[in-house]
Amino acid sequence: MGYGKLLKIDPLVVEWNYTTEYRHSYAEDSPFFMELGRGRLLGSRCKSCGFKYGTYRKYCMYCGSETEDMDLPLQGKVHSFTTCYYSGETFRGDVPYTLVLVEFPGIDSLFMSRLFMNHGEKPKIGMDVVAQFKKFQTFTVNDVYFVPA
Amino acid sequence: MIAGGMTHFKKINFNDDFRLNVKHSLDYALKDSGMKIGDIEGSVSAYFSDHLQGQLIAGAMSNDFIGLAGKPSKRIEGGGATGGLAFQTAYEEIASGTMDTCLAYGFENMSHVGTWRGNDIIALGSDASFDYPLGGFYTAYYALMATRHMYEFGTTEKQMAMVSVKNHGNAMYNPYAQAPMDITVDDVLKSPVVSSPIKMLDICLMSDGAACAILASEEVAKSYSGKPVLIKSIGSSSDTMRLADRPFGTVPLLPNENPEMYRNLKYPGVHSFRAGRLAAKMAYRKAGISNPQKEIDFAELYDAYTSAEIQAYEDMGFCQYGQGGKFIEDGRSMLDGDIPVNMEGGLQASGHAIGATGIMQAVYAFWQLQGTVHKHLGSNRLQVKNPHMGIIHSHAGTGAYEAVTVMEAV
């Protein structure tokens, strides 16, 4: 917030910049993001009921027990997909991009990620995909992405 | 419910801030019911985003603006279900005996940021660690669901387009609507792809606007309104915020369904809204509804995307899972269908000022059940014939919260 730039009168409308530094802590999810830099895609296994999560979480949402980290298979199948031609402002420079929900063999839930393909390739449900890791970590979930297997 | 009001939803309304929008909607409701502001014992405010308002504790500012300072009030927030949940909270204030009259009001001014930035802000209503950084885009999440719904059930983009044509067409007769349009299926199919398979004309609006509903105990209601509407029951539920966490289990059955119908269906996956089904099931049980297809006369469903309306037909039990596309194709949700849906245009065309939306739905349902659509919308064109029971339905975060309320003419 700050001093406004006059946009119009009657009614009086001013525009100001609205930005801030924000310290986003991954807290208990930190191991997932750290290990992406080592080429590992972590999921979680419930120590009590055995449910295997395709997206990392420290506690089981079914029984509340603590989970343990597990390596996910790096190859899976497209469960669903969409190609985005618009987005949030932050990702405006990225469009078009494709998002997929990935299902892994033997894992009970999914993982959302970006899918990169060669020009002319089209995503489809059931397509085999394999995880790739960014060379330089951004410390976001985008440090892993998928390509056709 | 004894009265309701709303503003004309607009893409940009710099002339009225959120407080004045609330006042405009309230003044209409007070005039309609013969009440005075002093007759209101307390309030529930509904708005989704502090970022969009550029103002925290905006409910308190609205309260003193409309003359309710000094009376109990609370804010409810639940994404796209904010208004629907606030309406239910006002019901609880009455049902618990805390108040005899309660105002539920909702508002949102979404024009204060551009559409791309608005997408960013709305997407912060997804997991900020695992989902938002992938694109910051809610349309993409609903599109992932739509893609899977098409794969599971054979739903088509043409069927989705039919929903858009219906809702924009209905809005032609609604003076409160933001985007009435006489369009064709071809127009929708040729509109720009936003996030495949969802196109520009499959998507709801971003709106500036407000709506309010005045609820009262049965005894007090009779003293103010010649034609109150009964809030028969409320239902709500929740699901995982992340789509990726949705389970693959079995369908929570309604009384008119049996397990054989869904023997091979892994549910909800990402094709259906489990919270919607559970909210409907709760509301139906409390209302004594055993067959929604026969007992519900109309519905105001959460059509943030045309695919979501088709999914809601199934979640609400208006048809079997997998038959939602056929439901619109057969015209069953049209004005002259057996369960008309979004007669006034829904979020697609009437508008989506997020905090106001669920209450806007309640006001439309109220006027339908009163049989006063002519009085409020200027013609009888959108009036459902002799409705006895209707539902309103809204959801947030790809179904992370859902609210279903059953309303009945008395």
Question: Could you tell me what percent of chain B has a pLDDT over 70?
Answer: 100
Q: What pLDDT, on the 0 to 100 scale, is given for residue B233?
A: 98
Residues of chain A with C-beta less than 8 angstroms from the C-beta of B157 = none
Residues of chain B with C-beta less than 8 angstroms from the C-beta of A115 = none
- Residues with pLDDT less than 70, chain A: 1-2
- B17 pLDDT more than 70: yes
Interface check for B266 against chain A (CB to CB < 8 A): the answer is no
- CB contact under 8 Å between B151 and A26, yes or no, is no
Q: What pLDDT, on the 0 to 100 scale, is given for residue B279?
A: 98
Report the alpha-carbon distance of residue A12 to residue A27 in Å, rounded.
44
DSSP state, residue A2: -
CB contact residues (below 8 A), chain A span 10-39, against chain B: 11, 13, 18, 24, 26, 29, 33
**Longest C-alpha distance within chain B, in Å?**
57
Q: Tens digits of per-residue pLDDT, B27-54?
A: 999 999 999 999 999 999 999 999 898 8
How far from B69 is each of A7, B23, B61, CA to CA, in Å?
Answer: 33, 14, 9
- CB contact under 8 Å between B137 and A13, yes or no, is no
Residues of chain A with C-beta less than 8 angstroms from the C-beta of B197 = 82
Report the alpha-carbon distance of residue B164 to residue B176 in Å, rounded.
18
Dihedral sign of CA atoms B17, B22, B27, B32 in order: positive
Q: Tens digits of per-residue pLDDT, B85-94?
A: 999 999 999 9
How far does B228 lie from chain A, in Å, by closest CA?
A: 39
Q: Tens digits of per-residue pLDDT, B356-374?
A: 999 999 999 999 999 999 9
Nearest CA in chain B to A13: B14
**Partner residue facing A142 (CB), from B133, B194, B240:** B133
pLDDT bin (cut points 50, 70, 90) of residue B335 is very high
Interface check for B12 against chain A (CB to CB < 8 A): the answer is no
Name the pairing type of β-strands B389-396 and B298-300. Answer: parallel
pLDDT bin (cut points 50, 70, 90) of residue B315 is very high
Nearest CA in chain A to B199: A85
A128: its two tokens: 């085999």
The answer to whether B334 and B376 are in contact (CB under 8 A) is no
- CB contact under 8 Å between A99 and B116, yes or no, is no
Residues of chain B with C-beta less than 8 angstroms from the C-beta of A29 = 129
- B288 pLDDT more than 70: yes
Interface check for A44 against chain B (CB to CB < 8 A): the answer is no
- Find which of B245, B246, B270 to mutate to test the A interface (most A CBs within 10 Å of its CB): B245
- Please choose, from the candidates A61, A52, A64, A67, the residue with its C-alpha nearest in 3D space to the C-alpha of residue A110: A52
Amino acid at A117: M
Indicate the helix (H) or strand (E) that contains A118: none
Q: Tens digits of per-residue pLDDT, B177-212?
A: 999 999 999 999 999 999 999 999 999 999 999 999
Average pLDDT taken over every residue of chain B: 97
- B136 pLDDT more than 90: no
> What is the CB-side half-sphere exposure of residue A70 using CA atoms within 13 A?
20
Amino acid at B236: S
Give the SS3 label for residue B272.
coil
Residues of chain A with C-beta less than 8 angstroms from the C-beta of B140 = 82, 84, 87, 99
Q: What pLDDT, on the 0 to 100 scale, is given for residue A2?
A: 63
